[in-house]
Every structure is written in C-alpha cells, then in structure tokens.
Structure 1
Amino acid sequence: MKISGPSGRLGIALTLVIGLASIGFGAYSYTTQSAALDSATTVEGTITSTSIEESSGRGASYTPRATFDYTYRGETYTSSKVYPGTLSKDFDTERAASAELEGYEPGTTVTVYVPTDSPGAGYLEPESTNKPFILVGVGALFVVGAGRLVLTG
C-alpha cells in the first residue's frame, strides 16, 4: 500500500513548517510545565466551581477544571488549572475526569501551587503530562517525512 503525501515544494514546505511548529510548541510546553513544577511555592486557595470540559476529535476526551481564588504576595488571582503548564491533562472518560475533582467541591480550602515567575498560573496538582513529548514526536515525524519527500522527490 502506498501512502501519498504532499508533493511539490509548497507541500514539502508546509509539511516541514507543521513539523517544526509542533516540535517548537512541544518544547515550549515542556519548558513551561517544568518551570511551573520547579519554581512553585504553596498558598491556600478556595475552590469556587468545578466542571468537566469535553473535546472531541478522534474520540472524546475530558478535561477536569476547578476554578479557585488565591492570594500571593498581596495580589488576588483566579485560576482554573488543575495541572501545570500550557497543555492540560485529559482523560478518556468523563468518570475518570470527575474522579480527579474529588475533594475539590466549591467552598473547599485547597493547597495551590504558584509558579513564582508566573503567579497567575496557579494549579492544584503537581503532576506533569506527557503531551509535550507527544507533540515533539509528531513534529519529528513530519520533519522526517518532509526530508524523505525531498530525497525521493
């Protein structure tokens, strides 16, 4: 079975740009996630609401959201990040996403992790996600694909 991809200079350039953009955003996401985990200090906050966001693509995925208020160095902030970084951790089922919100009922006092270099990006769970690595891997596949097109085309 032959898989045909983009042909011509424009197609190759587009494939390369998509690959490089994916690698760049994956690296950026990894860096922001790591910085948020490494530089965090803790403060108390209060949960104001919770929700589950559903997104559909190749299949439905569910992202837990908990909105909370907290004060850091005299400034009050509101965040809805359960996990650090630019890419949220998501789940295959609504039930699994809901389980992540157990203990985060509105009015509950919680520990908020506050990145000292970005205090408005507080989060609740000091866990990383592998999404940045997936983006880098997909981007690398696009770059390799573009390279093969150049060599064979």
Structure 2
Amino acid sequence: MEVDIDGPSGPLQLAVAVLVGLAIFGWGAYSYTTQTSALNSATQVEATITSTSVETFNQRRGTDYGPQATFEYTYEGENYTSSNVYPGELPREFDSENAARDQLDGYEPGDTVTAYVPPNSPGNAYLMHESSNKPFLVMGFGVLFVLGAAYSALRD
C-alpha cells in the first residue's frame, strides 16, 4: 500500500512551509526558555487568592479546561496582580473540568499561599512551581513541519 502525501510543491510554497515550521519551533523554544527562566530564578512571596475558576477552551478535537486563579502579592515594595497558575507562556489544558478544578485544590479566595515571582518579570508571578513538556511538543510540531517541507522538496 503506497501512501501519497501532497505537500508544498513550488519554491514559494516550500519557503512558506519552512518559515511556518521555523516560527512554530521558535515559539516552542521561546516558551521553554521563559518557563525555565521563571522556574530557575523565582523568588517566593506570600500572595492572597482573590478568585478561582476553570476556563473552557473549545477546540476542533473537543473541549479542554484550564485552571485559573487570580492573586495579589507584593514584590520589592510594589503591588501586583497575576492570574498565572503555572510558569511560561503556554496554558495547561485538561480533558475534564474536574481535572482542571483539582489543580486548584488549596487555592480558595482569601487564602494566603506561596507565589513565585520571576525577578525579570515581576508582574508574571505563578502559583505552581513545576515544568511542562508542552514547549517540547510545540517544537516537535515545528520540526515535523520543516521535515515535511524538506521531504516535499526532495520528492519533486
């Protein structure tokens, strides 16, 4: 059984495909870098939870859910408000509302909790000091895009 894959065929289409793949890879690398920087340099501060909720993401493959928590904190004499549960640019998504809500256990409005403040971005504090593999998935998708374009170029 032969698989026929039609990819970009002209030079312009190939160039666009490579650029899109590199941009996707770059976004994943940037997300990984910001996440790693936030995790490695964070300073702990006390924060007060002001609200929690679960955000809904409607996508082609179904509905995903993300935990949301808004909190206030003071860092180096300045007051801030943040809504980042996790470090980095990419949101964490869960298959069920209950799974997303479980991430918010221990974070009720009025609670005093520990927040983590990246010194180079004090307005982007977060609550859970843990990394995600999502940036690697984004980078991998970008690499697949570039490899698909390279395959199409070599095939022609």
Q: Relative to structure 2, which stretch is displaced further, 103-112 or 55-64?
A: 55-64
* Runs of at least 5 residues in structure 2 that lack an aligned partner in the other structure: none
Q: Distance in 2 between matches of 1:139 and 1:83?
A: 23
1:49 to 39, 48, 51: 51
| Superposition deviation, residue 109 in structure 1 | 0.6
* Runs of at least 5 residues in structure 1 that lack an aligned partner in the other structure: none
1:74 to 73, 77, 90: 77
- In the other structure, the counterpart of 1:4 is 6
Normalising to structure 2: TM-score of the pair? 0.94
| Superposition deviation, residue 140 in structure 1 | 0.3
Residue by residue, what CA displacement relative to the aligned partner does 1:7-45 show, whole Å, maximum 9, x if unpaired? 212221221111101110000000000000000010101
- In the other structure, the counterpart of 1:137 is 140
Normalising to structure 1: TM-score of the pair? 0.96
The list of structure 1 runs, each at least 4 consecutive aligned residues, that deviate by more than 6 angstroms after superposition, is none
| Aligned residue type for 1:109 | T
1:91 to 94, 112, 117: 94
Aligned with 1:33: secondary structure? helix
Q: Distance in 2 between matches of 1:135 and 1:28?
A: 10
Residue by residue, what CA displacement relative to the aligned partner does 1:30-75 show, whole Å, maximum 9, x if unpaired? 0000000000010101001111111122221111010000000000
Percent of aligned pairs with the same amino acid: 59
Matches of residues 115-126 of structure 1 in structure 2 within 5 Å?
Answer: 115-126=118-129
